[in-house]
Amino acid sequence: MKLITIIGARPQFIKAAPFSEEFRKNHEEILVHTGQHYDANMSDIFFDELGIPKPDYNLGVGSGSHGKQTASMLEGIEEILLKEKPDGLLVYGDTNSTLAGALAASKLHIPVFHVEAGLRSYNKLMPEEQNRILTDHISDMLLCPTQTAVDNLKKEGITYGVVNTGDIMYDTVLRNIGIANEKYSNGLWFDEIVSENGEISKISENGYYLATIHRAENTDNPEKLSNIFKAFSELNKPVLLPLHPRTEKLIENLEVDMKNIIIINPVGYLLMLYLTSNAYMVVTDSGGLQKEAYFLKTPCTTLRDQTEWIETLENSWNVLSKIDVKEIKSKVQRELTCLKHPQPKSFGEGNAALKICEAIVNGGKINE
């Protein structure tokens, strides 16, 4: 079977690693990188660390408005599809790369396989929500990470081609946490951060909050962004913040207090995995990091009004917070009752890559 896979952003690189390894054992995969994430710390390092094959094509679209970016991807992907004539096209998640790939293939009557189908935040103001809904409704096979995702699709009348494969990000975490611990448990993680960013006060394992902020609903609103940083500056532990390049530009014009906040460059997957595992808590607006924290049994506070990963909310492993200084501080500094409760196996057994391959090759059937 000849398959084209579309990737373009950090979460997609992470998901692609186990699938590409499994699929290429018996089939041909052509990897297309749209270039949506093009900074070396947001792209190249993931290919190196995770052993992802070098992309066969790189569209290099870079940043831009949603319309300009999606249009450039659509044009480039269509040309590749016409040239390569694949048996199908696979997309991950909910980015502009996802929608552009699915739309280009669908219009050429090439089967679309959507990994991480069926997620819903029920907030259509989010570009990610728009992308995932549109992609689901033009996909031929919907590869769901949880039963909740399957149920969401059923509510929208989508039942054909729906398969619960488990979460492929769980595969990647299980494959790499041991490698990350071996590489960084000797303290080299701190040396790596300091070497990139100058003098940083010593922080200890389990003695910091790990934060990421990148969603437009937070970063494009100066009041919300200021409230987030004000809350961070008043927390009872230092906040380690690998800063997304886009967010870094947006805070330059804000009058925000950076005390208690340690800003570092974006880090690779292995170091981020280690920092997540050893943080006291994760504070984020990222969907992927919510899950990674859950997989690693690190409590999380999500700076959003809703989450598509509702399974993580059980027993307060993950707690939602409005962008209000007082509420953020209260939620982050809450008593961690979650540590007293086991986690249900909502995301599968860590063999999603194998199940996704089986579903694609066998017309939706997987070996139980």
Q: Active-site residue numbers?
A: 214
The three-state secondary structure class of 57 is: strand
Report how far residue 281's alpha carbon sits from residue 291's, in angstroms, rounded to the nearest whole number.
13
Sheet strands (E) in 120-273: 141-144, 162-164, 209-212, 239-242, 261-264
Rounded (10°) CA dihedral 313, 353, 43, 74: -100
Cβ(86)–Cβ(5) below 8 Å:
no
Contacts of 212 (CB under 8 A, 6+ apart): 241, 242, 244, 284, 285, 286, 289
CA proximity to 145, closest of 311, 318, 338: 311
Report how far residue 203's alpha carbon sits from residue 207's, in angstroms, rounded to the nearest whole number.
6
Report how far residue 165's alpha carbon sits from residue 368's, in angstroms, rounded to the nearest whole number.
10
Q: How far is CA 116 from CA 48, 80, 113, 145, 227, in A?
A: 24, 24, 10, 6, 32
